[in-house]
Amino acid sequence: MAVRSVIVLPTYNEAENIVDLLRAVRRAAPDTDVIVVDDSSPDGTADLAEGVAAEVGGLKVLRRRGRASLGDAYRYGFTVAFDEGYPVIVSMDADFSHDPAVIPTMLGLIDAGADAVVGSRYVPGGGTVHWPLHRRLLSKWGNRYTAAALRISVHDSTSGFRAYRAERLRAIDPAATTAEGYAFLTELVRELVLDGAHVVETPILFRDRVRGTSKMSWPIILESMVLVTRWGVADRLRRLRPASRRRG
């Protein structure tokens, strides 16, 4: 029997994608449960997800109220996944940018000993398809800056397509993270690396969404630049003072 696993799937206005995506996930990963974390999407995403729950099976829909934030949605979804005792937690986007066919590969890498698997656009075999030039440049150079500032060897810290060994994720206490946008994903990678976790990357082809709209915004981009710079400085200061404790 395969290890129990769950996909935490944050959604905001994914009405045009959610039903097909849940069906595709079920085909690709028949034994993996799904927790949809919806931020009260005005387009009715949560209702649509619930509408196929019986058909898809192993599906729970969480509805959050209050401010919509990717970081908050993940913090909440991970807490529920921990409480339910899943040993492996997968994260992915709900817009078909992440191919569900990669999920078994990720689960296999966790099984083989990885603590976390990052689906990476920036390792051999990985890439982006149909992504506008400005998004490609922002992502590629943002990730290069992140790797240099944080001195980590992960090439795609902002990828949301991942698998985690739950006990390793729990050890860094994701509920205590603070980033709201995709910087949350970088925050987790940094904390995992600082904690000595074995983080591996597997290539993915990231496809731009065909339906629905991106929630990317200037404040989210700015948050990421500011936080990465701040973490980079904090990590450097800590290295200068080896006696001090981790996290800064």
Ligand X SMILES: Nc1nc2c(ncn2[C@@H]2O[C@H](COP(=O)(O)OP(=O)(O)O)[C@@H](O)[C@H]2O)c(=O)[nH]1
> Quick one: how far is CA 57 from the chain centroid?
22
Position 10 contacts ligand X (CB under 6 A): yes
Position 224 contacts Mg ion (CB under 5 A): no
Strand ranges for the chain from DSSP E: 5-11, 33-38, 59-63, 88-91, 116-120, 127-129, 162-165, 199-203, 205-207
Torsion of CA 187, 17, 69, 236, to 10 degrees: 10
How many binding residues for ligand X (CB under 6 A)? 19
Token pair 């992960």 in the structure block, residue: 154
Position 97 contacts ligand X (CB under 6 A): yes
Asked if 169 and 90 count as a contact pair (C-beta separation under 8 A), the reply is no
Contacts of residue 207, defined as CB under 8 A and 6 or more positions apart, other chains included, come to: 96, 97, 99, 128, 129, 130, 131
Residue nearest to ligand X (CB): 214
Site residues (CB under 6 A) for ligand X, limited to 38-67: 38-39
The tokens describing 237, both together, are 């200061």
The single residue among 33, 93, 156, 201 that binds ligand X, judged by CB under 6 A, is 93
Asked if 166 and 113 count as a contact pair (C-beta separation under 8 A), the reply is no
Q: Which is nearer to ligand X, 86 or 161 (CB)?
A: 161
What are the Cα distances from residue 224, in Å, to 10, 34, 40, 111?
A: 19, 28, 24, 31
Question: Least separation, in Å, of the C-beta of 70 and ligand X?
Answer: 4
Question: Which residue, 189, 194, 192, is CA-closest to 234?
Answer: 194
Among 68-76, 170-178, 188-196, 225-233, the segment contacting ligand X (CB under 6 A) = 68-76
Question: Least separation, in Å, of the C-beta of 173 and Mg ion?
Answer: 27
Q: Which is nearer to ligand X, 77 or 202 (CB)?
A: 77
List the x/- string, 78-117, binding to Mg ion by CB under 5 A.
---------------x-x-x--------------------
Position 73 contacts ligand X (CB under 6 A): yes
Position 15 contacts ligand X (CB under 6 A): no
List the x/- string, 21-40, binding to ligand X by CB under 6 A.
----------------xxx-
Alpha-helical regions (H) of 87-217? 103-111, 133-150, 166-171, 183-194
Contacting positions for ligand X (CB under 6 A) = 10-12, 14, 37-39, 68-70, 73, 93-95, 97, 209, 214-216
Contacting positions for Mg ion (CB under 5 A) = 93, 95, 97, 209
